[in-house]
Chain A
Amino acid sequence: MRIEDKLFINRYQADKHSHIRIVDRGECLKCDFKPCTYMCPAKVYAWNETENRILTAYEGCLECGTCRYCCPPGIIDWRNPRGGYGIQYKFG
């Protein structure tokens, strides 16, 4: 059972542009635990070993906002997706 399978049950209207921006990727290199990669309930954040950067699968974002508070250097610029985009909870 993978998280993607569960996310597929959700309804999204994915925007073409990410609503999540990593402001300073240099801070990620210094960050020891990278809490974003395991605090996010939708596993939006993943650390890429070869590229040495955080990947953000913004399409699956549940818009809970946890990442903004869990990021120690506070470098996640998170905004709500544009009106009409993002997750669309049905019978939420």
Chain B
Amino acid sequence: MAVKVLRGNCIGCGACVQTCPYDALTLVDGIVEVDPEKCTECGACVAVCPTQALTLEDRKSQNTVERGIERIKEVKGPTQGEAGEYKGVWVFIEHQEGEGAPVSWELLGAGRQLANALEVELCGIILGQGVEKIAQEGVFYGADKVYLVESPVLAQYRSEPYAETIASLVQKYKPEIFLLGATTLGRDLSGRVATLLSTGLTADCTQLSIEKDSRLLLQTRPAFGGNIMATIVCKNYRPQMATVRPRVMPMPQRDPERKGEIIQEKSLVTENEVKTKVVELIREGGSAVYLDKADIIVAGGRGVGSKENFAYLQELADVLGGTLGASRAAVEAGWLPVAHQVGQTGTTVRPKVYFAIGISGAIQHLVGMQTSDVIVAINKDPEAPIFKVATYGIVGDLFTIVPKLTEAFRQKIAGKVAEGGVHLAGKI
């Protein structure tokens, strides 16, 4: 058994050849070859390969994963004692300005699956003032019960009163799973709640499932910038807490006929106990660039040619409600400010749609955007590396293609708006 080469991925950089302590690797015609006699499967080359072209023949790694699964199955979960009393799946419903956050509804959808697998009930929990309507929405999106805490202290989000109120309710009702959205608010709150309850928390999960035999929640999250997927379990403490990345779970169907219970609860926190005071809420103007939060990014590179030509891209972005992005080359040429730069030295983005227009796709750019849900590449050069990661590729001149695309989108969206109003970013 020796290390395995995925010939398609190898770029012939030679990094592995230099690294191999046993001289088992050589470059032949720009692609690495392995001498199985010399290879000891030490894995040094796998670690150094920039394109994941080398894998250890699965025997060893497979075993580790299988052993892990076996061990999870053996754990029976704390069915006896104090922790065994914990039952139910809870979802924290986040809201802002009278509207529930979409991620909370996504979580109710994901929570439904978990609750069904465990045969327990799915509950929502909402804190605030004058939020009963949103609590009702929670029922429409799949909650069996929604715990509603209304108090002037909770009117604005503040870490202390929110965390303490939630912790006291969790202790009262003992859910076994507690989910929050991995938004700025959710990630602030979850850590406090988890430490108050002395339980385990996995941040920014992208997959959740239940291991049948042990009834444990398998929380999977990307680590090391998405290079490793780690599955984490919380064996002995309850609730099992996880924050979940927005937009990875499918949005459940809203059913306005659905019935559920809304339970009023009281918060014991009084205003005097809270150290944080909200002085003012400042809304950022639309002109600020939030590449990492954008749903649609229209990015241009050296192929765009000049600052003036970015008007084509701006138009496409305006029609789609997207944000302008740029490759290093375009920023460096002074066509767009550095805040727009996507890639290794710029911002890492993960939009729903990424338009790469006139971008060749150097690996330094790809690492900043290749996890986008849909990548549309427009480039003159059919050999451009961007096409390797693109979901859809158009080979051709961007000055003819982009205006046509813009026009087509404009008509399509105009049609949809006439049909009864569509928020595009939410629809794509």
Q: Which residues of A contact B (CB under 8 A)?
A: 1-2, 4-9, 12, 14, 16, 48, 50-51, 55-59
* Contact of A51 with B329 in the complex, beta carbons under 8 Å: no
B13 at the interface (CB under 8 A from A): yes
Knowing A4-B363, A50-B306, say if A55 contacts B332 (CB, 8 Å). yes
Q: Hey, what's the 0/1 contact readout for B318-341 against A, CB within 8 Å counting as 1?
A: 000000000011001100001000
Residues of B within 8 A of A2 (CB): 362, 385
* Contact of A57 with B338 in the complex, beta carbons under 8 Å: no
Residues of A within 8 A of B30 (CB): 1
Q: Which chain A residue has the least Cβ–Cβ distance from B49? A: A9
Residues of B within 8 A of A1 (CB): 11-13, 30
16 extra interchain contacts, Cβ-Cβ under 8 A, other than A2-B362, A5-B362?
A1-B12, A1-B13, A4-B363, A5-B11, A5-B50, A6-B13, A8-B50, A8-B363, A14-B345, A50-B305, A51-B333, A55-B332, A56-B332, A57-B328, A59-B344, A59-B345
The docked-state distance in angstroms from the alpha carbon of A1 to that of B50 is 13
Q: Hey, what's the 0/1 contact readout for B368-386 against A, CB within 8 Å counting as 1?
A: 0000000000000000010
Q: Which chain B residue has the least Cβ–Cβ distance from A50? A: B305
Residues of B within 8 A of A16 (CB): 338
* Contact of B13 with A5 in the complex, beta carbons under 8 Å: yes
B274 at the interface (CB under 8 A from A): no
* Contact of A4 with B362 in the complex, beta carbons under 8 Å: yes
**Chain B, interface SS category:** loop
Residues of B within 8 A of A50 (CB): 305-306
* Contact of A57 with B306 in the complex, beta carbons under 8 Å: no
Q: Which residues of B contact A (CB under 8 A)?
A: 11-13, 15, 30, 48, 50-51, 302, 305-306, 328-329, 332-333, 338, 344-345, 362-364, 367, 385
Residues of A within 8 A of B362 (CB): 2, 4-5
* Contact of B332 with A57 in the complex, beta carbons under 8 Å: yes
13 contacts between A and B (CB under 8 A): A1-B13, A4-B364, A5-B11, A5-B362, A8-B50, A12-B345, A14-B344, A16-B338, A51-B306, A55-B332, A56-B332, A57-B329, A58-B332
Q: Contact check: which of A9, A14, A59 meets B50 at CB < 8 Å?
A: A9
The docked-state distance in angstroms from the alpha carbon of A81 to that of B18 is 28
Residues of B within 8 A of A58 (CB): 332
Knowing A4-B363, A8-B364, say if A55 contacts B329 (CB, 8 Å). yes
**What are the nearest 9 A-B pairs in CB distance?**
A4-B362, A14-B345, A8-B363, A5-B11, A9-B15, A1-B12, A59-B345, A9-B50, A8-B50
* Contact of B333 with A55 in the complex, beta carbons under 8 Å: yes
Q: Which chain B residue has the least Cβ–Cβ distance from A5? A: B11
Q: Which chain B residue has the least Cβ–Cβ distance from A4? A: B362
The distance from the CB of A21 to the nearest CB of chain B, in whole angstroms, is 13
The distance from the CB of B258 to the nearest CB of chain A, in whole angstroms, is 51
* Contact of B332 with A5 in the complex, beta carbons under 8 Å: no
The docked-state distance in angstroms from the alpha carbon of A57 to that of B306 is 17
Residues of B within 8 A of A4 (CB): 362-364
The distance from the CB of A39 to the nearest CB of chain B, in whole angstroms, is 19
The docked-state distance in angstroms from the alpha carbon of A6 to that of B333 is 23
The distance from the CB of A91 to the nearest CB of chain B, in whole angstroms, is 9
The distance from the CB of A82 to the nearest CB of chain B, in whole angstroms, is 15
Q: Which chain A residue has the least Cβ–Cβ distance from B385? A: A2
The distance from the CB of B403 to the nearest CB of chain A, in whole angstroms, is 19
The docked-state distance in angstroms from the alpha carbon of A12 to that of B48 is 16
Q: Contact check: which of B13, B302, B329 meets A9 at CB < 8 Å?
A: B13
Residues of B within 8 A of A6 (CB): 13
The distance from the CB of A11 to the nearest CB of chain B, in whole angstroms, is 11
Q: Which chain B residue has the least Cβ–Cβ distance from A51? A: B333
* Contact of B305 with A7 in the complex, beta carbons under 8 Å: no
